[in-house]
């Protein structure tokens, strides 16, 4: 995959799947723009690759106004954004009857509204430039209703991302914008690794491959969709889940 000359925004690009995507962009010659609330983690990534290859912008993904302000600054600073990868997100693990309105609102605001705000911040810019690749990180939870780690609020937010991805793909196709999504299952990020071993083993038992994905295994599929190798692909929702869904 070749990202030479491409400016790539990665929300949540300082850790987990997002960091693996950042690494892949840099290794393939691109410029990575990390948008993350954790600037300390982002700076450690920048230190590894150099400030000429990685730019850092702090944004609270639950605040649409802040997202739009930061993205506007990025466009001003970089000139053109070729690719947007929405990786930032949070999980909700409580049973449905225990989810408060506050928790529901926060999960939806970051996982779905934040994705909408990010896309809408670059969509017209991409239309004007005649080029755009958007990849959203959804989840198998959005297809099967949770049941692994995330529950109803998380599943609903990710189902929304799937629907939004298809809508943007449909409307953007004639305007040289492709939009696809990737649905991971258990991925061995710091969030999962912090879970009790019993919880990890329970989730692995539900996966036909009987293991979790390494972040780079998910990132590889994201990077494919972000690259020109997927030049005739849009509106696709790809599972990277070790065989949980197997849908056609």
- Nearest residue to 180 via CA among 128, 247, 245, 231: 231
DSSP assignment of 84-104 equals EEE-------S-GGG--HHHH
By annotation, the residues acting in catalysis are: 154
Q: How far, in Å, CA of 79 to CA of 127, rounded?
A: 14
Whether the model pTM is above 0.85:
yes
Domains of the chain: 7-186+216-235 (3.40.50.720)
What are 37's two structure tokens?
């609330």
Integer Cα distance of 218 and 27 in angstroms: 16
Six-digit token string for 112: 């779905």
DSSP-derived 3-state class of residue 234: coil
Burial zone of 232 (CB within 10 Å; 0-12 exposed, 13-18 middle, 19+ buried): exposed
Tens digit of each residue's pLDDT, the chain (248 residues): 899 999 999 999 999 999 999 999 999 999 999 999 999 999 999 999 988 999 999 999 999 999 999 999 999 999 999 999 999 999 999 999 999 999 999 999 999 999 999 999 999 999 999 999 999 999 999 999 998 999 999 999 999 999 999 999 999 999 999 999 999 999 999 989 999 999 999 999 999 999 999 999 999 999 999 999 999 999 999 999 999 999 86
Distance CA 156, CA 207 (A): 21
Q: Is 131 helix (H, G, I), strand (E, B) or coil?
A: coil
């Amino acid at each position: 995959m070749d990202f030479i000359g491409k400016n790539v925004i990665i929300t949540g690009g300082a850790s987990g799947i997002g960091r693996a995507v950042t690494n892949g962009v840099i290794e393939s010659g691109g410029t990575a723009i990390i948008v993350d609330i954790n600037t300390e983690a982002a700076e450690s990534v920048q230190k590894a690759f150099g400030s000429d290859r990685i730019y850092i912008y702090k944004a609270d993904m639950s605040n649409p106004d802040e997202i739009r302000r930061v993205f506007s600054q990025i466009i001003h600073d970089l000139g053109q954004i070729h690719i947007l990868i929405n990786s930032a997100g949070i999980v909700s693990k409580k049973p449905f009857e225990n989810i408060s309105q506050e928790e529901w609102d926060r999960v939806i605001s970051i996982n779905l509204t934040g994705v909408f705000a990010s896309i809408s911040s670059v969509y017209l810019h991409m239309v004007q430039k005649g080029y755009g690749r958007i990849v959203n990180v959804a989840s198998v939870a959005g297809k099967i209703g949770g049941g692994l780690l995330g529950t109803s609020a998380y599943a609903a937010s990710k189902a929304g991302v799937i629907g939004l991805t298809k809508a943007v793909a449909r409307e953007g196709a004639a305007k040289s914008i492709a939009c696809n999504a990737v649905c991971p299952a258990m991925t061995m990020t710091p969030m999962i690794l912090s879970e009790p071993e019993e919880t990890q083993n329970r989730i692995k038992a539900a996966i036909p491959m009987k293991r979790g994905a390494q972040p780079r295994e998910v990132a590889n599929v994201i990077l494919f969709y972000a690259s020109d190798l997927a030049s005739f692909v849009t509106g696709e929702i790809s599972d990277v889940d070790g065989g949980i869904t197997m849908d056609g």
